[in-house]
């Protein structure tokens, strides 16, 4: 199966002619717009979007194994490259055994 696909184009209008980098960029920008992902000052391109996507999944507390499977990479690669600690993540982990009762932070029973 892989051999049959090895000489096929991934991005093509007709299966014979590759898309130009300009066309890929145009459609990528449209996809970002439709997904409501603000490019802002970031220079997101299809390659860097993978890093952005994986970082967003990891920061949304999706298990590294699920992210690795979704993106075709290893768990160790996800943990080594993409697992960025954020203040919210540190706070959430530090207070995992606590809850608010009547406006006071107390240990969970």
pTM (predicted TM-score)? 0.53
Q: 43-93: per-residue pLDDT in tens? A: 778 888 888 888 888 888 888 899 999 888 899 988 888 766 677 777 777
What is the mean pLDDT of the segment spanning 18-41?
85
Q: Which residues of 74-97 are buried (b: 16+ CB within 10 A; e: fewer)?
A: eeeebeeebeeeeeeeeeeeeeee
Supply the pLDDT for residue 74. Answer: 92
Supply the pLDDT for residue 66. Answer: 93
Domain residue ranges in the chain = 1-42
Mean pLDDT (the chain, rounded): 82
Supply the pLDDT for residue 65. Answer: 92
């Amino acid at each position: 199966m892989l051999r049959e696909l090895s000489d096929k184009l991934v991005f093509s209008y007709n299966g014979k002619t590759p898309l130009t980098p300009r066309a890929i960029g145009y459609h990528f920008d449209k996809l970002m717009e439709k997904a409501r992902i603000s490019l802002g000052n970031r220079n997101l391109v299809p390659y860097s979007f993978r890093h952005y996507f994986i970082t967003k999944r990891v920061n949304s507390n999706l298990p590294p194994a699920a992210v690795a499977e979704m993106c075709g990479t290893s768990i160790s690669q996800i943990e080594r490259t993409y697992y960025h600690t954020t203040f919210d993540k540190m706070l959430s982990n530090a207070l995992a055994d606590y809850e608010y009762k009547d406006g006071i932070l107390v240990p969970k029973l």
